[in-house]
Chain A
Amino acid sequence: MNEIERELRAAAAGLPPAPSLAGLPELAERERLLDLAYARVDSPLGPLTVAATRRGLVRIAYYGARGRDAVLEELARRVSPRMLEAPARLDEVRRELDEYFEGKRERFELPIDWTLTRGFSRQVLKATARIGFGSTGTYASVAAGAGSPRAVRAAGNALGANPLPVVVPCHRVLRTGGAIGGYTGGRERKEFLLRLEGVLS
């Protein structure tokens, strides 16, 4: 019996590799089966994972200590497991990010899906999204913008859990008094973004 199994394995080893599935996202989308498309976008801050639903951009993540797979697993759990790597579906996002990092874009126009945010956190992030390019706010000012001027610490937590860094510009929120404060992607990235926008020299 071993002989025949060996021959089977040898024969199967000569089979051609599976054909490309590059057309799968488009086909899935046509049948409304693709809930989440994601891709890698390279940036001066390192590679980013970007993900979008039919409604808009839902997640941007640095390749950090948690790794890309952890980000994707979280999206499967919190948004939908029907997700495929589909770079073409994120061309628009890539274009706007590229322009921003090249200094050619001061505001993002792509639609945003706020699914990953809730309640007060969502209000804090929406207040943050109103801070313009080259301007800054404080934890106290975004807490006030979200309707609870005293919830400064909660505002800090909401910014720390920002699912859309760069596009929702939590890097523009500094400590009262001007200290840089923390950042999801690390302090160096925050400083880079503030320099890009001319806030730091």
Chain B
Amino acid sequence: MQLPPFQALVDRHREDVYRYLVVVAGPAEAEDAFQETWIAALRAYPRLERADNLRAWLLRIAHNKAMDAHRARARRPLPVGEPPEASTAAVRDGAPELLQSVRTLPPKQRTAVFCRSLLGMPYAELALLLDCSQDAARRSVHEGLKRLREEVQR
């Protein structure tokens, strides 16, 4: 099996990985997790057993790093002297409102909506990423979009 040069993965998928982190975890977490994702991927790369679906593999790593970043931020005390209102997610978060709403979905639906609606990912690849059947992946996309629409109309 032939793995492409790692730099080719960076060139091909960096924008998708970054947008995934912003949409699924938020801009602050994306900042923390972006470089970490690539280091973790580089570490695991030679042990990878298949070279198809590299994008799904990268997004799964990004997902784990985003969760790490989220936990680290939750543990971190607020800097002394910071006004309390500045610490609320809505204020420090520069992402468009609709994308922020994606983050109110359950994690699986977030990933499903992002990958399907923004990357146009085939269901086979999405099923691999979510570790579920293609039907279940389809349902996650559907449910996620439905809830998002309700959220927006509210």
Contacts and interface: CB of A to CB of B under 8 A. Distances in A.
Chain B interface main SS type = helix
A73 B4 contact: yes
B35 A11 contact: no
A24 to B, nearest CB: 6
Interface residues of A, number: 34
B46 A81 contact: yes
A15 B43 contact: no
A109 interface: no
Interface string B116-140: 0110000000000000000000000
Contacts of B10: 21, 24, 84
Interface centre among B5, B38, B96 (most CB of A within 10 A): B5
Interface residues of B, number: 39
A3 B3 CA distance: 39
B117 A18 contact: no
A37 to B, nearest CB: 10
A18 B15 contact: yes
Given A33-B42, A76-B2, A21 B14 contact: yes
Interface in B6-55: 6-8, 10, 14-15, 17-19, 22-23, 31, 34-35, 38-39, 42-43, 45-46
8 contacts: A4-B148, A9-B117, A21-B35, A33-B42, A72-B7, A73-B5, A76-B6, A82-B42
